[in-house]
Amino acid sequence: MEAIARANTNIALIKYWGKRDEKLFLPMNSSVSITLDQFYTTTSVQFSPNLAADIFLLNGQQENEEETRKISRFLDKIRVLAGKDVHAIVDSMNSVPTAAGFASSASGFAALAAAASKAIGLNLDERELSIIARQGSGSACRSIYGGFVEWQKGEREDGLDSFAQPLLDEKEWDLTIFSVLVESKRKKVLSREGMRRTVETSPFYSGWLKAVEEELVIAKSAIANKDFEVIGNVLEKNALKMHATTLGADPPFLYWQGATFDVMEQVWELRANGIGAYFTIDAGPNVKIICERKDEKRVQAALSELPTVQKIFVCHPGQGVTYLSTSDFKNRKEEE
């Protein structure tokens, strides 16, 4: 009853921002993302009738009660589906230190959903896996698939029509995504709290919902046509609108810091000089920049000039969930 799965994180081009159902993780709007070829989580799940409780190890360390409870609550959904009341050892490795400030919940819950459902003997297809992963963290439902992915918000109250679907394979479009780590000074408002506060209090939220519908249509057609200028423009505008909603919240908040703005200005400068680079920002101060592969070196050089940039990770579109053998996992752990 052991299974091991690996999932990559993803970066949204059209953001998921706001829930219509917090318990089932049902979103207010559909979203579109690229699954990356880095920042993955590899998770082994082993169910055993001999365990009195779930055990959760992250990067080789046993996690505290609070973190373990989150995993247990998620495993409960899988136990109910399988009709089996049995506990598990969850052994998870993150390829990027959580301290680097990159969200690992998308890759984490995608890998956990895949490994746990396989280990318990459920034979789920990708759509069903996506529905399960969504209930750990919304964005995780998109990491089941590789390449360009849409999460359809769905209409049903039970969430059975709220799942991800692949739009374009990762091998079909050779883009570069830079994940730029900037100096971080403030404590962050977690995305879960940030989106809740915005939905409840920001008068700009209705404008967001109206705009996102149009931007989704543009983004999906740009992906189908592999039109980089169109996708670049729409993803940057979409990110700016998401962040604009937070300024209208009560109390107001903003994820950007000075260093965030330095990167944004550098991207605008690149475009003024004829280089197609566009940024997007999630619920934190770091920035992701997207360009065509041919411009990778020039964009990287421009980003490296900035004194407030701490680290630049160069990513490309990557694959969806994969399953590993026990020996693969052991070798990996020894390497890390």
Residues that bind ligand FM0 (CB under 6 A): 12, 15-16, 25, 31, 103, 105, 137-139, 191-192, 282-283
* Residue (of 90, 2, 65) closest to 323 by Cα position: 2
**Nearer Cβ to ligand FM0, position 118 or 288?**
288
**Nearer Cβ to ligand FM0, position 90 or 287?**
287
Distances (CA, A) of 142 to 68, 87, 105, 134: 23, 27, 12, 8
Cβ contact 196:28 at 8 Å: no
Phi-psi map region of 60: left, alpha, beta (phi>0 left; psi -120 to 50 alpha): left
Least CB distance to ligand FM0 at residue 74 (A): 11
Query: Tokens 């921002």 identify what position?
Result: 17
**Nearer Cβ to ligand FM0, position 167 or 283?**
283
Residue with the CB atom nearest ligand FM0 in the bound state: 138
Return phi, psi of residue 196, to 5°. Answer: -65, -50
Laid out side by side, the sheet with 309-315 consists of: 277-280, 287-292, 175-182, 309-315
**Nearer Cβ to ligand FM0, position 12 or 263?**
12
**Nearer Cβ to ligand FM0, position 4 or 239?**
239
Cβ contact 212:156 at 8 Å: no
Least CB distance to ligand FM0 at residue 297 (A): 28
Alpha-carbon distance of 290 to 175, in angstroms, equals 7
**Nearer Cβ to ligand FM0, position 3 or 113?**
113
* Residue (of 324, 332, 322, 328) closest to 143 by Cα position: 322
Least CB distance to ligand FM0 at residue 7 (A): 13
Least CB distance to ligand FM0 at residue 260 (A): 13
* Residue (of 144, 107, 151) closest to 8 by Cα position: 107
Least CB distance to ligand FM0 at residue 277 (A): 19
**Nearer Cβ to ligand FM0, position 139 or 176?**
139
Least CB distance to ligand FM0 at residue 183 (A): 20
Least CB distance to ligand FM0 at residue 49 (A): 31
**Nearer Cβ to ligand FM0, position 105 or 130?**
105
Alpha-carbon distance of 210 to 272, in angstroms, equals 29
Where are the alpha helices (H) located in the chain, listed in sequence order? 65-82, 105-119, 126-134, 191-201, 205-225, 228-247, 258-272, 296-304, 326-335
Q: What is the DSSP letter of 67?
A: H
* Distance from the Cα of residue 330 to its chain's centroid: 26
Least CB distance to ligand FM0 at residue 15 (A): 4
AA identity, residue 243: H
Least CB distance to ligand FM0 at residue 192 (A): 4
**Nearer Cβ to ligand FM0, position 87 or 243?**
243
